[in-house]
Amino acid sequence: MPDAYAAIVEPVLDWYAEHARDLPWRRPDADPWAVLVSEFMLQQTPVSRVLPAYEAWLARWPTPKHLAAEEPGEAVRQWGRLGYPRRALRLHAAAVAITERHSGEVPAAYEALRALPGVGAYTAAAVASFAFRQRHAVLDTNVRRVLARAVRGEEHPPPSTTAGEWRLAESLLPAEPERAARWAAASMELGALVCTARAPRCADCPIAARCAWRLAGKPPGPPRRGQSYAGTDRQVRGLLLAVLREADGPVPQAALDAVWPDAAQRARALDGLVADGLVEPLDDGRYRLPASPPR
């Protein structure tokens, strides 16, 4: 494609300068720890629900060392109803690793970030880019959708990230690190605010004139199977963990039995929570949030 950079990157950067949201983790006082916390919370969770949880978390644990000194169960409790509570456990484990291996400072190197619990390719690139202003391809669901439409002419990106998507993202990366970091945030913001999954606002899009998908008449992509929830183990796990979160201390078996009628599924869900280290069984038959990290 001829000069995709000028056709895509520059208009999106200009658009971002006008339309960027004032999010707390983008402000100058957001240090690398704050950025890391925001990225954990934003994994599969909308911004609007993260905002209050982010503020409360950092008020309680302003540095990795503060969190590392706590029991992991306290992280799970503070996580509240953000969903996917294993993230809380991994964020706690990351704080421990940062304290032990990096003197309590969030590392700047991509590989060191990637080695932290709960930090995958996206989060490592995002923290290196947003907190340390480095040059990395930051490929989240928003960017993948923007590129799928604007460049590939398809409504949705593939189910899982492909090598081709990474190649494309890297080919568009501005040479200057600061500019690359701004592009990362800008392309995500465009996907979040304009090039949305459901009802894209093409009239407000800075690259609509060159968007391959729009120019092709917005052909609908193949149907994608939705994630079912009602009646699954995930729902039962959520109900069980909610009881433990809201209790002050250990909870008797009967309190957990009350949340779901199917005893077999209930047992399977509870076993899963124990296996994940989210719940600790006591010798007296009661259960509690974990007091010590799983080794």
Partner DNA sequence: CACTCGTGGGT
Partner DNA sequence: TACCCAAGAGT
Number of residues near DNA (by CB under 7 A): 60
Site for DNA contains 226 (CB under 7 A): yes
- Among 3, 77, 95, 100, residue whose Cα is nearest residue 40: 95
Q: Which of 53, 82, 131, 173 binds DNA (CB under 7 A)?
A: 82
101 binds DNA (CB under 7 A): no
Q: How far is the CB of 227 from DNA (least distance, A)?
A: 5
Residue among 4, 7, 13, 23 that touches DNA (CB under 7 A): 23
**Under the criterion CB under 7 A, does residue 242 sit at the interface with DNA?**
yes
Smallest distance, Å, CB 2 to DNA? 30
44 binds DNA (CB under 7 A): yes
Nearer to DNA, 202 or 242 (CB): 242
Q: Which residues contact 134 (CB under 8 A, 6 or more apart)?
A: 108, 110, 128, 177, 180, 181
Which residue among the candidates 10, 18, 39, 189 is catalytic per the annotation? 39
Residue 138 to residue 38: CA distance in whole angstroms: 15
Rounded to a whole number of angstroms, the distance between the first and last alpha carbons of the chain is: 51
**Long-range CB contacts for residues 126-129, cutoff 8 Å, separation at least 24:** 126/35, 126/39, 126/184, 127/32, 127/35, 127/36, 127/39, 129/180, 129/181, 129/184, 129/185
Asked if residue 155 lies in contact with residue 172, where contact means CB atoms within 8 angstroms, the answer is no
Identify the residue among 12, 42, 75, 279 touching DNA (CB under 7 A): 42
Q: Shortest CA distance to 130 belongs to which of 20, 267, 225, 246?
A: 20
Q: Does 224 bind DNA (CB under 7 A)?
A: yes
Contact flag: residue 30 with DNA (CB under 7 A)? no
Question: Is 100 labeled as catalytic in the residue annotation?
Answer: no
Q: Are 173 and 23 in contact (CB under 8 A)?
A: no
CA distance 51 to 33: 15
180 binds DNA (CB under 7 A): no
Would you count residue 38 as binding DNA (CB under 7 A)? yes
Interface positions with DNA (CB under 7 A): 23, 25-26, 38-39, 42-49, 81-86, 90, 117-124, 126, 140-142, 145, 159-160, 162, 188-189, 191-192, 196-199, 223-224, 226-227, 229, 232-235, 237-239, 241-242, 272, 278
